[in-house]
Structure 1
Amino acid sequence: MRLALGIKMRKLTHIFYCTSIGTITYYGYHSTMRILYLLALLASFIPSSMADGLPDLGEASQSAFSPQQERRIGDAIMRDIYRDSHYLDDAEVSEYLNNLGYRLVSHSPDNQRDFEFFAIKDGTLNAFALPGGYIGVHTGLILAAQNESELAGVLAHEIAHVTQRHLARLIAGQQQSTLPSLAALALAILASRSNPQLASAAITTVQAKSIQNQLDFTRDHEKEADRIGFQIMKQSGFDTNGMSNFFERLQKYNRVYENNAPEYLRTHPLTNDRIADMQNRAANIPYRQVPDSMDFQLIRAKLRAFQGHPEQAIASFKEILNDKKYTYEASAHFGLANAYMRARNFAGANNELNILKKSNVNNAMVANFEAQLKIAVGQPESATELYRAAFKHYPGNRAIAYGYAESLLQGKHSREALQLIQDQLRSYPSDAKLYDLQAQGYAAQGKNLLQHQSLAEAYFRRGNLTAAIEQLQIAQKTKDGDFYQASIIEARMKELRALDAESKKQ
């Protein structure tokens, strides 16, 4: 599948999972130009998988797209997203989304598939599924969810798009309608020689039929994603009303603001029948109240604290606390603490932190915030001790691991930091942040070849092949590596150059 990198973030969601549809007008130029135009239009009906000559793997969706091809395409898109300024590179938000996402995935029809959940800094309400198990969520949608079950409902719906391989099935469906479209367009080409008006009508008919077929596929896929997503929610222990409640609220918003519809509705066609079906399914399940996790509340508070100007965020949280307009008081204090930190009002941040500690809020995000505050006020050794204790208590938390490594490096404990980073890389070999920290550790020890090798891996994982190759070239010029290390650099250089050449063909 041919994909141009550098896609604008807002347009990604129109490519996956929904395709925006435009209008094509036929122009009565001379015969040669008409035929060239029609051939270009003809090419648009041919799925790129056919052009690439993919083998027939049996199942319709498999013949259009193998899971391996989906993953490669998803990887290519994500390399572009990682470089985009809208990508939210926040360890705590990523940790939360992936924990929630994998809780749902464990109850999905394809629970062995790899997924990655990530956030996009965008105030609009949207979420989208990319090929290969990548699922993006706009921060605006996280903030708009009134409870965790509503957010889980959206993620479950997107997970279903992936597990049911809807993109591959959509392409397979287009393949099945290709030959009739080709025949109709061939007739249009012939007709254009003597009757341009007739040709124009024929083209319009073919286009309309193709669009209708696509819409039929999309509607069916949305219904299936609702049904599968509902089962995922149910088996994961969430309130099954969350999905229908959120979608119904979106639809009401759309009626009021017809010309400013939520982004989610533009990429996920919503009907009254779909909402009614979700509500009927939920009505057949005994109601039970499902409390939000503390992580959900703290993440939403943190995201809100980073909206707008710091002083505005401070004023907003103070108003929430004064008027008691909160679901969990602790989350409001956490949001205010983050807003104070943004404003570099460390005394205010510390005051809110003390309130949280007195309330016995035991959470990795609070522990991380306390250590980060120590770093901000110039107490790295105190931060290291806090991180050491937090790492024992939350050993799998990446935000804690990052902070711990950073504090060790600031305290000139590079050997201990590098050991910690190496242990983390065994669990998370694709983590660019860990390679950045590893490069800092090697730089502190004066190991130039290893420093630039680590930087190359960090750039590669962020999708910047050019910078990765440049770092390997710098590594080759250093004089502190042995023959074995130089051989590794040379082999990796060949590998990345081959990938770079392949990406430029797309």
Structure 2
Amino acid sequence: MKKITLALLLCFSPCLYADGLPDLGDVSQATITPLQERQIGQQSMMEIRASKQFLDDPEISDYLNQLGYKLVQFSSEPGLNFEFFALNDYNVNAFALPGGFVGVNLGLLLTTQSESELASVLSHEIAHVTQHHLARMVAAQKGDTMASLAAIAVALLAARNNPQASQAALVGMQARAMQKQLDFTRIYEQEADRIGLEILQKAEFNTHAMPEFLDKLQRATRLLEGNAPNYLRTHPVTSDRIADIENRVNKQPYRLITDSLNFQLVRTKVIAGQKTPADAITYFNDALTTHQHGNPLAQRYGLVSSCLRNNEIERAGKELATLEKQAKNSPAAQHNPMLETLTGQVKRASKAPDTLEFYRLAVQKFPQHRALIYDYADLLLQSKQAETAVKLLAEQITRHPSDTTLYELQARSYNQ
């Protein structure tokens, strides 16, 4: 990101630790109010949306928000307006901005092996927001100037991408004091763990997934000779912290939770997007042949989408027919907007005569699925039906006022 506001720099580490830890309430929010937290988060999101890392994929975004809100309703602030978004970054990381904005790297989606693991990370980030850790951090910085806060912020952002740059950013400052403040507070992390576990349990996910995921990352760190994933760098894990989490979850029964089809489809989509189309076809072919790598329905979905990307239209149609047969045995698959979107894309690519009518009916079935809306609006414009597109897009912009793709399509419809 070329232009980074002070707000964004501060927000990238909302759990920054100072010398004291004030109580929640008037003390913390006397410095930054909830309204100001939201404004800071919105300003930060303007920068993030303009960056190349922001992933403008409505299906991944919608899934993260569906999962996120399933958790938020069991938080201490169920009425808070959250927004969950993805970044095109294969480092394993997630972070919370003040005001309810939670970012998830694609690398995290790839690394989590179950929906409960992903939910455990999101619940932890939700807790950072609802506990107003940024406000508490600023309140603890009572004697510091904004200049010193900016210096800390610069180093924090640099540390996420380049440890050497982080050290350079501290030159000329009180390096030792600044570096101490770069560490996340153990208290904030433990608090987010505790509250995150409560959210996870109330939402009926497997709470054991939280320590299992952290343990997985630690083992990966040892194999990489200490090169820790970004998540562990920005969310330091100590033996005491893991022990505390395990002690809490061991008091709860182990709950076997079946992953949702949407989790499996989204994760498959990320896997396919990481590979070239040809490599993705080989990967999903092998998975289906050897019965490995998860749900065969999701694997077939990945194969169809990869064939489309590789311009193998005829094969995509044949694989889609097989997918539709598989879907008949799955109630979740019989009414799934991601599968409906894929079907429409195959129809468009193969120039099926009923494509426009298919999209009209599909949008009626799934009026809030933006991937379908994008495709349908584009098809309407190609078919010189701008008036219908204008009406469709006006309705969608009311629902999604921050969606830049909808505005771009609207501009095209007005110009036609």
Bin of the TM-score, shorter chain as denominator length: 0.7 to 0.9
Candidates 100, 103, 113, aligned match of 1:133: 100
C-alpha distance after superposition, 1:232-267 (max 9, x if no partner):
111111111111111111111122223421010111
**Separation in structure 2 between the aligned mates of residue 107 and residue 141 of structure 1, nearest angstrom:** 23
CA contact (8 A) 1:63 1:172 kept: yes
SS at match of 1:129: strand
1:374 maps onto 2:371 in alignment: no
1:397 corresponds to:
369
Give matches, 1:395-434, under 5 Å.
395-434=367-406
SS at match of 1:300: helix
**Separation in structure 1 between the aligned mates of residue 103 and residue 81 of structure 2, nearest angstrom:** 14
Q: In the TM superposition, what is the alpha-carbon distance from 1:58 to its structure 2 partner?
A: 7.6
C-alpha distance after superposition, 1:137-169 (max 9, x if no partner):
110110110100000000100111111111111
Q: Which 5+ residue runs of structure 2 have no aligned equivalent? A: 19-23, 149-171
2:13 corresponds to:
16
Name the TM-score, length of structure 2 as normaliser. 0.84
SS at match of 1:64: coil
1:290 maps onto 2:290 in alignment: no
Change (3 A) 1:373 1:310: same
**Separation in structure 2 between the aligned mates of residue 327 and residue 226 of structure 1, nearest angstrom:** 29
Give matches, 1:262-411, under 5 Å.
262-359=229-326, 360=328, 361-362=333-334, 363-379=336-352, 382-411=354-383
Name the % identity. 43
1:6 maps onto 2:10 in alignment: no
**Separation in structure 2 between the aligned mates of residue 347 and residue 146 of structure 1, nearest angstrom:** 32
**Separation in structure 1 between the aligned mates of residue 144 and residue 252 of structure 2, nearest angstrom:** 40
Q: In the TM superposition, what is the alpha-carbon distance from 1:366 to its structure 2 partner?
A: 0.9
Give matches, 1:115-126, under 5 Å.
115-126=82-93
1:40 corresponds to:
none
CA contact (8 A) 1:17 1:267 kept: no
More helix by share: 1
The count of corresponding residues between Structure 1 and Structure 2 is: 379
Q: In the TM superposition, what is the alpha-carbon distance from 1:384 to its structure 2 partner?
A: 2.1
Q: Residue type of the partner of 2:343?
A: E
**Separation in structure 2 between the aligned mates of residue 247 and residue 430 of structure 1, nearest angstrom:** 34
1:150 maps onto 2:117 in alignment: yes
SS at match of 1:374: helix
C-alpha distance after superposition, 1:368-387 (max 9, x if no partner):
011112222344x6332222
Q: Residue type of the partner of 1:154?
A: V
CA contact (8 A) 2:11 2:134 kept: no
| Aligned Cα root-mean-square deviation (Å) | 2.8
Name the TM-score, length of structure 1 as normaliser. 0.70
Q: In the TM superposition, what is the alpha-carbon distance from 1:213 to its structure 2 partner?
A: 6.4
C-alpha distance after superposition, 1:393-414 (max 9, x if no partner):
2222222222222222222222
Higher RCO (C-alpha under 8 Å, 6+ residues apart): 2
Q: Residue type of the partner of 2:376?
A: Y
Change (3 A) 1:272 1:308: same
Q: Residue type of the partner of 2:412?
A: Q
SS at match of 1:286: coil
Q: In the TM superposition, what is the alpha-carbon distance from 1:115 to its structure 2 partner?
A: 1.0
**Separation in structure 2 between the aligned mates of residue 319 and residue 12 of structure 1, nearest angstrom:** 44
Change (3 A) 1:298 1:108: same
Q: Which 5+ residue runs of structure 1 have no aligned equivalent? A: 21-44, 46-56, 182-203, 445-506
Q: Residue type of the partner of 1:290?
A: I
**Separation in structure 2 between the aligned mates of residue 207 and residue 344 of structure 1, nearest angstrom:** 55
